[in-house]
């Protein structure tokens, strides 16, 4: 058998992406203007004839003024509220922004590149490229996913979906609690929700009553399952017409507040490795799920399975039929390959000059060879100015550093549509392979909370069980 030439395959993948996006205008419309402008610059690098970027809100970091762009200046209370307000604003642009887009693209040739969680709806009268179908969006409802696991033959924890009433929720809680409480997940009555915003860990009768009140105000139905101690993790697949690419597990950096039981999402990392048999089981789960999605709803492109690696192995908790945040971290292992743009092209059914098996080999090799991680926190406190701080890590913990070029981590604080945003950039060369990153980051976030008075509160990391 001939050795696989990963460089040659990568070159063909990159050429396929460029051939897809070159020579035509692209409108980028996302929740954050910095993100929209960044994507627009990547489209320019891939030969786009012209670009225009629209962001619903201003985020943390500078905006490249060399890209024609508009910011809608949306603000709201909370992460999901700001995302929903941004989607609404992009669906009905102000007249002056619509006029700028029409002047830039008078023949309406442009297609729209949207953010990973957006619907397939048009923006400014231009069709979304690689948009999500309604039947795909419906599967992101956390109360319907157990039927998918059962249809695929995927092992899962026992769970019940009940009405969002206190009596029904307490009954399910007492029935399913295995000694560590239960996790409640709201349906999509108010639309898609992520980042643990619609998920609660319930441990005591007082918490149950409080969470039941919240659920009744925000959901019609609620999924209740036992709390599983272990490493929160995810794994991605990419559905092609003839193959399902199965990638490698990623640590989901998820914290919890021990006083309240609330989860705090903090992005992802690829340093940690589960046992080989668990990795194999997770990849097989991806193949089964991807094939089911293809056969039942005609799915194409990237999807994510989230779950927990507990004492009994990996237990899935939700399915995200879209490009996931963790695969963005994984994609840094091959930065010259625009994986999100490739995902959109696969959804569109573009003819590509490589096989799905070749792409799988390239992505697995890169992700296992080059590890990455980063973290963030969305802050309720309003932040208008930007700050930066550098830190080094040792056995003694985190200490301030004065040299950003050699620092092990850099904290960036700035505004977000929900209030504030804290981003941690990590020097991956300083993190050993096999590291469970969340405990390190817990300490760093607590240090930054005390330094800048951010209101993050107490955080703790999960406990690895395997």
What pLDDT score does 151 carry?
95
**Could you report the per-residue pLDDT of 407-465, keeping only the tens digit for each?**
999 999 998 888 899 999 999 999 999 999 999 999 999 999 999 999 998 999 998 88
Least confident piece of the model among 189-193, 362-366, 376-380: 189-193
Is 117 in contact with 192 (CB distance < 8 Å)? Answer: yes
Residue 48 has pLDDT above 60, yes or no: yes
Residue 93: phi, psi to the nearest 5? -65, 150
The span from the CA of 49 to the CA of 66, in Å, is 15
CA–CA separation, 269 and 249 (whole Å): 9
| Pair of tokens at residue 207 | 């918490």
User: Which among 421, 425, 399 has a CA at the least distance from the CA of 410?
Assistant: 425
Query: 199 forms bridges with which residues in the sheet?
Result: 185
Whole-model pTM: value is: 0.94
Residues forming a β-bridge with 320: 304
Convert the pLDDT of each residue in 93-133 to its tens digit: 999 999 999 999 999 999 999 998 888 899 999 999 999 99
d(C-alpha 225, C-alpha 173), whole Å: 8
Place of tokens 């690689």: 130
Number of H helices, E strands in the chain: 13, 19
| Cβ burial, residue 119 (10 Å; 0-12/13-18/19+) | middle
Q: What DSSP letter does each residue of 52-103 carry, written as one string?
A: EEEEEE--SS---TTS-EEE-----SSHHHHHHHHHHHHHS--HHHHHHHHH
**Does the pLDDT value for residue 3 go beyond 80?**
no
CA angle at residue 152 from 148 to 158, to 5 degrees? 60
Three-point CA angle 241, 244, 245, nearest 5°: 125
**Cross-strand bridge partners of residue 32:** 57
Q: How far apart are CA 179 and CA 196, in angstroms?
A: 22
The answer to whether 110 touches 52, Cβ cutoff 8 Å, is yes
With vertex at residue 373, the alpha carbon angle to CA 415 and CA 305, rounded to the nearest 5 degrees, is: 95
Residues in the chain: 466
**Distance (Å) of CA 102 to CA 25, 34, 69, 105:** 12, 22, 13, 5
For the chain, the average pLDDT equals: 94
């Amino acid at each position: 058998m001939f050795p696989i030439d990963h460089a040659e395959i990568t070159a063909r993948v990159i050429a396929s992406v460029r051939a897809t996006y070159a020579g035509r205008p692209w409108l980028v419309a996302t929740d954050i203007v910095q993100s929209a402008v960044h994507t627009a610059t990547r489209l320019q690098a891939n030969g786009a004839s012209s670009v225009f970027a629209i962001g619903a809100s201003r985020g943390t970091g500078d905006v490249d003024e060399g890209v024609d762009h508009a910011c809608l200046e949306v603000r709201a209370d909370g992460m999901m509220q700001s995302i929903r307000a941004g989607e609404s604003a992009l669906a009905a642009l102000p007249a002056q922004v619509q006029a700028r887009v029409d002047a830039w693209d008078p023949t309406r040739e442009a297609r729209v590149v949207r953010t990973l969680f957006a619907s397939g709806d048009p923006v400014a009268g231009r069709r979304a490229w690689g948009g999500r179908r309604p039947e795909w969006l419906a599967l992101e409802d956390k109360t319907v996913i157990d039927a998918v696991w059962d249809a695929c033959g995927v092992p899962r924890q026992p769970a019940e979906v009940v009405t969002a009433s206190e009596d029904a929720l307490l009954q399910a809680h007492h029935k399913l609690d295995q000694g560590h409480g239960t996790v409640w997940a709201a349906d999509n009555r108010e639309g898609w929700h992520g980042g643990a915003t619609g998920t609660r860990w319930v441990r005591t009768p007082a918490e149950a009553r409080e969470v039941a009140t919240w659920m009744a105000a925000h959901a019609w139905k609620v999924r209740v399952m036992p709390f599983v101690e272990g490493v929160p993790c995810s794994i991605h697949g990419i559905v092609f017409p003839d193959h399902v690419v199965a990638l490698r597990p990623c640590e989901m950096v998820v914290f919890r507040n021990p006083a309240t039981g609330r989860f705090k999402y903090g992005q992802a990392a690829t340093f940690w490795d589960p046992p080989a048999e668990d990795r194999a089981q997770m990849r097989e789960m991806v193949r089964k799920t991807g094939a089911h999605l293809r056969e039942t709803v005609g799915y194409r492109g990237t999807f994510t399975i989230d779950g927990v690696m507990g004492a009994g192995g990996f237990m899935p908790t939700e399915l995200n039929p879209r490009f996931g945040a963790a695969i963005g971290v994984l994609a840094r292992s091959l930065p010259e390959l625009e994986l999100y743009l490739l995902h959109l092209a696969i959804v569109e059914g573009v003819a590509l000059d490589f096989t799905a098996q070749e792409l799988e080999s390239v992505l697995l090799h890169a992700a296992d060879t080059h590890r990455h991680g980063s973290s963030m926190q969305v802050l309720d406190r309003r932040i208008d100015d930007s700050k930066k701080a550098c830190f080094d890590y040792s056995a003694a913990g985190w200490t301030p550093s004065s040299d950003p070029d050699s620092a092990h981590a850099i904290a960036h604080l700035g505004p977000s549509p929900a209030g504030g945003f804290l981003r941690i950039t990590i020097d991956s060369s300083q993190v050993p392979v096999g590291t469970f990153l969340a405990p390190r980051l817990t300490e760093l976030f607590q240090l930054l909370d005390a330094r800048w008075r951010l209101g993050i509160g107490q955080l703790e990391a999960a406990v690895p069980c395997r």
